[in-house]
Structures are given as C-alpha cells and as structure tokens.
Chain A
Amino acid sequence: MIPVEYFFVLSGLLFFIGVFGFVTRRNLVAMLISVELVLNSVDLNFAAFNRMLYPDGFEGMFFTIFSIGVSAAESAVALAIIINVYRHLHSDQVNSIENMKL
C-alpha cells in the first residue's frame, strides 16, 4: 500500500502550485483555476487521511464530497462575476480592474 506521506507530499505540492499560480497569474480565470488546485489538494488530503489513518468512519469522504459541491457553486458565481467584469472592461486581466486605487 502507498504510505500516507506520499499523499501528503502530493497534496502539499498541489497546494503550493495553486498558491503560486494565484499569486503570479494576472488573469482572473487562471487565478480561479489556481484556487481550484488548492481546493483539490484539500480534497485529496481528506480522502487519503480518511482511507489511510481513520478507515472506520467516513467523515473525510463526506467532507470531500461537500467541498467539491461547494467549490462548484463558488466557481459558478465567480465565473458569472468574471463574465460581468469582461462585459464592462473587455478584458479579464487583473491590471485592468484597478479603477479604485488610493
């Protein structure tokens, strides 16, 4: 069986790739995709910990399912808002949404 540490390393990598993408990407959709990577790493964590460390219950699995559902709802709203931004500014770059500054 694959040891739990491997899952931990994989999810840690995914998480930080997501964070890196969120910080460096200048495109709203790409930032959203990076956030999805972060959420996927969380799902992987929960599923792996449930299966490997606490196989008696299903709490981790349930959390994964709920988290996938909620993140889908959130992305739907976020995409709708990004489309609205695009209609206003004809751009989805972060640089273009800085009407409001100090």
Chain B
Amino acid sequence: MNYSDFFQMIPEASLVAILIILFVADFVSANTEERKWFNPLACVLMLVNTIVCLLPMEAVTAFGGMYVTSTAVNVMKAILSLGTFIVVLQSRVWAAKSGKEGEFYMLIVSTLLGMNMMMSAGNFLMFFLGLEMASVPMACAIAFDKYRNNSAEAAAKFIITATFSSGVMLYGISFIYAAYGTMYFSDIAASLQATPLTVMGLVFFFSGLGFKISLVPFHFWTADTYQGAPTTVTGYLSVISKGAAAFTLLSILFHVFGGMIAYWHVLMMIVIALSITIANLFAIRQSELKRFMAFSSISQAGYIMLATLGNDWNTSIASLSYYVLIYVVANMAVFTIISVVEQNNGGKTEISDYDGFYKTNPRLSFLMTLAMFSLGGIPPFAGMFSKFFVFMAGVKGADITTTEGAWIYGILFVALINTVISLYYYLQIVKAMYINHSDNPMPTFKSDCNTKFALAICTTGIVLFGVCSFVYEWIAAAV
C-alpha cells in the first residue's frame, strides 16, 4: 500500500486534523469551568476547512480506485462544510448549556467526515463504510439531549430505521456483486446489463438510499426524528445529511447505473411525484414547527431529486449542488431562528406560539419571512433560481413527443402545482407572525452574537446567491 495516497485526501485529512484538535482541546480543558473559547475554536476550524475545500484541487484517484474525486465532489464538499460551519456557529449557547460541547462538535465533524467519504467513494465497500460513518454518529447526536424523552425516542426511531435500510441496501449490493463479480463503480458501469438480477439490486439499493434522503415511501422516520431531535441537530440532519445522500444517489445513478437510465427514470418519476405531493399535503396540517419543517424537507428532497430526470450529467449535478447550497442557507436560517426562540422562551416550537411575533421581534420575523419566501420560491430570492435550475436540468434531453419525455414534463407540471401549494403553508408561518393577533406574544429578546452572525451569513446567501449569477456559474464551471 502506498501511504502517500493519504495526502491526496485533502478535505478528509483536514477533517481528521480538526477532530484530533477538538479532542485534545476537550481533553485538556475537561476540568476547567469557563470554556468560552471552545465554540470560537470549533468555528475557526470549520471555517478553515471550508476554505481548504474551496482551494482549487485536481481530481484524484487514490487507493487503487477506492477513493475517487472530481471537481464536482470538491464543490459539494465545500458547500457541506459551509453548512456545518453555520451549524457549529449557531449551536454555541445550546452546546455550552449541555455541558458536553466537545462531544457535540466531534460528532458533527465525524458525521461530515463520513459524508465526504461517501461522496468520494469509487467502490461499494467504501460507499457503505462512509454511509455508516455518517449515520452512527448522527444517531448519537440525535440522542444528545439525554434527559429529554423526545430526544431518546427520536434517536431510537432513527437508528432502527437506519440499520434496517442499510441492511436492505446491502442486500441490493450483494445482487450487483453476484451479477458482475466486482464492486468498483467503473467496472460495474463498463459491463452493466439490465438483467432481472441487476434490476432487483438497483431497486433494493435505491430503497436504502431513499431512507437516507427520506423520499416518500421511506419517509416514516422523518417527522418524529426531526421533531424530537435537538433543534440544532435537526437543522444539520435536514440539510447536510440530505444533501450528501442526494449527491451520492445522483452520482451513483449516473455513473454506475447509467446504462439502465430507462429503468431508474421510471422509479425516480414515481418517487418524486409521491414525495412532493404527499409531503405537501401532510405539511399543511402540522401545528408543530419542527414537524412542519420535516414535511417541508421531504418535499424539498423531491425537488432536489428532479435533477435526476435529465440525461446530462453536468447540468444535473450543477443544479443539484446549487439547490443544496440555497437549501443550506434558507433552511439553516429557519432552524437558527427556531433554535434561538426555543432557547429564550422555554422550548416553544408550536406554530401558534409565533402569533404576534412581529410586534415583539420584528427583525427575527423579517429574516424568517425571507427564508420562508426563499423555501417557497418567490422570485427575487435564491430559492426561485434554485428551483428554476433543477426544473431546467430535469427537462434537459426530454423530448415531449416521446412517451418518456411527456411523462417527464408531466412530473414537472405536478412539481410546479405543488410549488403553489407549498407557498400556502410557508406563508401560514408568515401570517402567524405578522397578522395573527396574540394576547401575550413572545417577549422581546436579544440573541447572542454567534446567532446574529449565522443569520447574517444565511440572509446574505438568500438574497445574493440568486441575484449574483456568478455563484451558479462558479458551480457550473467547476463540474
């Protein structure tokens, strides 16, 4: 084995270094009372990691094809690292109160490490290890509020479904191994044939990843887990984990099962239409904000996966990465606000608690409105552009005169109608804050500087990433 290969895994090496630094810092200062420097340390380290990921890197193949990167993977790693930076930034007060800051940041960083491994896998074994490296620490992070019933409940639901789904996925991978005798993506792609065994393998494999992205037939854990998990972790779970899994699914569908595009197009069309529609209908009747955001994230996952309906790898991956970037800033803005409201008002997360929020906290409610507009896709904000690009990627290469092309246009039409439905429920939050009257609205409070900084980054993203076209051009040029 050539140990110099390790030096080619720059984003992963940087994350491992961060893990070690955090571990040593936590270990050394374990008995000190005041640890005000701990969160800034973690923030600076994550910021450095983001910058490292942004440095121009070449596509490498290491460890005999086990580890493969491309410029597209590097862009996605940078986006996820930025998201993790925001999560770490906004988690200061909550993490300090839990008394286990060190563990929390280490769990988050090791989850990110697993996702990076998963995204740059070139072999099913590596992919599986990355996936598990991401989901096991994730379960620990969900169970982080040890003394709260809901947190334990959410973690139990998450870990049981996660192990089950990875079992189903492995069963699919074993079929593919039986058919081709290799687990390298490139070798499988070279000799891919649509035999019944491979189709079975594809379906089982897809259902495993579908659990991670929480697409509709596999979404039952999502609502409970999102509601029960600590708000910071919910934010992380809804954007970073989902983005990484969506990216991996798209790249495996194109690069491994590219020859069977007719088969998985049908699969994706059914799953996307179901995800968007059912999640929207359920979201309308929610009264708890985190649960509401869970259903909203299921429908957003459907929109993300619209990118798979195209047949051009470059536009699909560029639009997916762009969508995830916008989703990171918009969703993190919402979860930061939920988290700060929860901390200052004794854990209030019902939508009706936000009645009259504008009167007491006008700035926060304005930022929440911007984020909701972006999630709903109202024009000047970034959310509209990201939706536009995935729709565009979805119809790429679709010919409306053929049956399949007509179906793709049909699915896009369903997605379009659902955008209108989603506007209804996103605006309900806005209505609660601005119009609904409340006899005792939440008192005015001041958030700490970290939260302000996180919200500033998110708002800048929501407002500027759409209007400044160079963001999309940068992503599109990199892939």
Contacts and interface: CB of A to CB of B under 8 A. Distances in A.
Interface in A59-102: 59-60, 62-63, 66-67, 70-71, 73-75, 77-78, 81-82, 84-85, 87-89, 97, 99-100, 102
B26 interface: no
A32 B160 CA distance: 7
B453 to A, nearest CB: 32
Nearest to A88: B149
B164 interface: yes
A42 B224 contact: no
Q: Is the interface of B mostly helix, strand, loop or mixed?
A: helix
Given A88-B149, A100-B228, A70 B132 contact: yes
A85 B125 CA distance: 32
A1 interface: no
Given A38-B164, A38-B171, A59 B156 contact: no
Interface stretch (B176-184, B332-340, B360-368, B457-465): B176-184
B132 A99 contact: no
Contacts of A28: 156, 160
Contacts of B135: 74
Contacts of A99: 149-150, 153, 228
Given A15-B171, A63-B183, A70-B129, A85 B159 contact: no
A31 B221 CA distance: 15
Contacts of A77: 136, 139-140, 159
Given A67-B170, A73-B132, A89 B149 contact: yes
A19 B150 CA distance: 26
B211 to A, nearest CB: 13
A62 B125 contact: yes
B157 interface: yes
A42 B136 contact: no
Nearest to A54: B181
Given A73-B132, A102-B285, A35 B125 contact: no
A10 to B, nearest CB: 13
Given A35-B160, A70-B129, A85 B174 contact: no
A63 B450 CA distance: 44
Interface residues of A, number: 42
Does more than half of chain A's interface fall in helix, strand or loop, or is it mixed? helix
B183 to A, nearest CB: 6
Interface in B112-142: 124-125, 128-129, 132, 135-136, 139-140
B163 A49 contact: no
Contacts of A75: 163
Contacts of A19: 168
A53 B174 CA distance: 12
Nearest to B184: A59
Nearest to A39: B167
A67 to B, nearest CB: 6
Nearest to B157: A97
Given A35-B167, A46-B177, A49-B174, A84 B152 contact: yes
Given A73-B132, A99-B150, A82 B139 contact: no
B181 A78 contact: no
B146 interface: yes
Contact of B163 (A15, A57, A71, A102): A71
Contacts of A35: 160, 163-164, 167
Most chain A CB inside 10 Å of its own CB: which residue of B125, B146, B181, B182: B181
B324 to A, nearest CB: 26
Interface string A35-55: 100110110011001000110
Contacts of B50: none
A45 B139 contact: no
Nearest to A89: B149
A42 B167 contact: yes
Contacts of A15: 171
A73 B159 contact: no
B181 A57 contact: yes
Nearest to B149: A88
A92 to B, nearest CB: 9
B227 interface: yes
B242 interface: no
B177 A74 contact: no
B318 interface: no
Given A49-B178, A73-B136, 14 more contacts: A31-B160, A32-B163, A38-B171, A45-B175, A63-B124, A74-B132, A74-B162, A77-B139, A77-B140, A78-B163, A88-B153, A100-B154, A100-B224, A102-B286
Listed from nearest, the 7 A-B pairs whose CB atoms lie closest are A38-B167, A45-B174, A54-B181, A42-B170, A78-B159, A84-B152, A97-B153
7 contacts: A19-B168, A31-B160, A35-B167, A39-B167, A63-B125, A63-B128, A73-B136
